[in-house]
Amino acid sequence: MSAPEPSRLAYVPFVSVANMMRLMHRIGVTEMICGIATCIEEDFRRWELFDKIPRVASHSLEGVIELMPTSDGEVYGFKYVNGHPKNTRDGLQTVTAFGLLADVHTGYPVLLSEMTLLTALRTAATSALVAKYLAPQGADTMALIGNGAQSEFQALAMKALCGVTRLRLYDIDRAATAKVMRNLTDRGFDLIACDTAEAAVEGAQIITTCTADKQNATILTDNLVGAGVHINAIGGDCPGKTELHRDILSRADVFVEYPPQTRIEGEIQQMPDDFPVTEMWQVINGTAPGRRDAGQITLFDGVGFATEDFSALRYLRGKLHDTGLYDALDMIADPDDPRDLFGMVQRASGTTA
């Protein structure tokens, strides 16, 4: 006797790494970043609908493993993500991830996806969306300090959403900078490799710090930051990991995603608990000011928040019907009688080895 066919709901669309790369080529990396940025902006505008908690983290000496859950009341989502800086020494990714969306009304999953690539897209989309609101008008030069796996995505996002065309690149590993130079050739950038962080920030209106080491580092010191710049600090994302000297924070207006998480993980973990910050959803909604004048130093203390991953998964789900670039996973047990799970197993006895 053959087992009954599972219902439509028992199959869960799964986007593999291979299909994610096919989507990126089919749609275009820049187009996907812009589409995800639109979804993030939309979800910031309805911020108060979302469940919000700091991500649940399990720390070790080598790194961190985290879960990032949220829901808008209709759809639930989470991302599993790790951060292990030592991995590159073993030929492994520093960050890997996967994510899921589920229907709140049934609890059934509606999407499972790789999120190592998707996180790179959403991190870049968030950075550029924020810079669109906070960077000085006419900014076209960005210093990119830390030239690892996120770099090219950050550059393409800043070009598409903010008009950045000149990149000043620095990394303690010259091979990383050479990699970015190679990957971004013929992408419409003026690329300048720099020998120091000080040289990289010269003439830059936007400074992005994106380093991976799990330590309290000082990638930027106060003397390197002039009036009027926007700092996109996205490398710090866990307790004990920062990139900026605290004096920079004292001079800047600091913008964050979700303060209870950023105070644990971001640059502001160096500051008192009552250190003032502005939430980006308020800026996007128009209920709080962003950049007020040309001399203001704005600083986005970006650690990555669950709603941004939700937005990226929401964008991805919307692309699957037209592209068909997914696999259908037989993931949910689906007996004819919901109370007879054992009977479903019995009836399948002739169909499995």
What does 289-334 look like in DSSP terms, one character per residue?
Answer: ----STT--EEEE----HHHHHHHHHHHHHHHHHH---EEEE-S--
Domain 8-117+307-342, classified CATH 2.60.40.1940, yes or no: no
Average pLDDT over residues 344-348: 90
Whole-number percent of the chain with pLDDT over 70:
95
Q: Where are the domains of the chain?
A: 8-117+307-342, 129-305
Selection from 315, 262, 334 nearest residue 99 by Cα: 315
**Residue 152 φ then ψ, to 5°:** -65, -40
pLDDT category of residue 7 using cuts at 50, 70 and 90: low
Half-sphere exposure of 10 (CA within 13 A, CB side): 11
What is the CATH code of the structural domain delimited by 129-305?
Answer: 3.40.50.720
Is the model more confident about 240 or about 161?
161
Structure confidence at residue 63 as a pLDDT band (50, 70, 90)? confident
Strand partners, 167: 142, 191
pLDDT (tens digit per residue) in 71-101: 999 999 999 999 888 898 999 988 899 999 9
Q: Which two tokens stand for residue 54?
A: 């700091």
How large is the average pLDDT for residues 328-336?
A: 91
Q: Is 60 exposed, middle or buried (0-12, 13-18, 19+ CB in 10 A)?
A: exposed
| Active-site residue, 237 included | yes
The string of pLDDT tens digits covering residues 14-52 is 999 999 999 999 999 999 999 999 999 999 999 999 999
Q: What is the pLDDT of residue 127?
A: 98
What local confidence, expressed as pLDDT, does residue 212 receive?
Answer: 67
Kindly give, in sequence order, each residue whose CB lies less than 8 Å from that of residue 84, ignoring residues fewer than 6 positions away: 62, 63, 64, 92, 94, 95
Q: What is the pTM of this model?
A: 0.93
Between 267 and 83, the higher pLDDT residue: 267
Q: Give the Cα separation of 333 and 278 in Å (integer).
A: 46
Q: Give the H or E element holding residue 24.
A: helix 17-27
Catalytic-role residue among 237, 301, 309, 334: 237
3-class DSSP state for residue 165? coil
Q: With 70 as the cut, is the pLDDT of residue 4 above it? A: no
